[in-house]
């Protein structure tokens, strides 16, 4: 794309480059309303039944009928409460947590 635009002498180069970047954004915006809510987000908002309704069609029929979806949502709920107890996602960037992460990173190399 850059070589093609570099050879243009008029002002249409930036228009073509911008238009090619806008096309994927429009496709995403059109498809966005049809995407379901995230089960993790719904569990985080204490909407357990809605999360179950969203998760069941995403799993195999055997998994949905064997109550594996409920177990998965319980695991999501425990994970969400653990993140909340640690001070949210920003807790991973606190100095006391960085030491733990660096030790784990070095241990993984060995």
Q: Are residues 93 and 45 in the same domain?
A: yes
Assign 1 a pLDDT band (cuts: 50, 70, 90). low
Maximal C-alpha separation, the chain? 65
Q: What is the pLDDT of residue 68?
A: 80
Which residue segment(s) compose the domain that 53 sits in? 36-110
Q: Are residues 67 and 110 in the same domain?
A: yes
Q: Are residues 18 and 72 in the same domain?
A: no
pLDDT tens digits, residue range 19-66? 889 999 999 999 999 888 888 888 888 888 888 888 888 777 776 677
Distance CA 34, CA 24 (A): 16
Q: Are residues 56 and 107 in the same domain?
A: yes
Q: What is the pLDDT of residue 93?
A: 66
Q: Are residues 55 and 90 in the same domain?
A: yes
Q: Are residues 27 and 1 in the same domain?
A: yes
Q: Are residues 46 and 73 in the same domain?
A: yes
From 42, 46, 51, 82, select the one nearest 69 (Cα to Cα).
51
Q: Are residues 30 and 40 in the same domain?
A: no
Distance CA 71, CA 66 (A): 10
* Residue 14, token pair as written in the block: 């930036």
């Amino acid at each position: 794309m850059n070589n093609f635009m570099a050879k243009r002498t008029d002002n249409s180069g930036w228009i073509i480059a911008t238009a090619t970047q806008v096309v994927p954004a429009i496709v995403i915006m059109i498809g966005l309303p049809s995407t379901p809510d995230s089960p993790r987000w719904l569990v985080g908002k204490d909407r357990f039944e809605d999360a179950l309704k969203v998760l069941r069609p995403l799993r195999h029929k055997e998994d949905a009928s064997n109550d594996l979806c409920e177990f998965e949502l319980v695991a999501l709920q425990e994970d969400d409460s653990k993140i909340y107890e640690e001070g949210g996602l920003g807790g991973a960037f606190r100095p006391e947590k960085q030491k733990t992460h660096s030790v784990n990173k070095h241990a993984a190399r060995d």
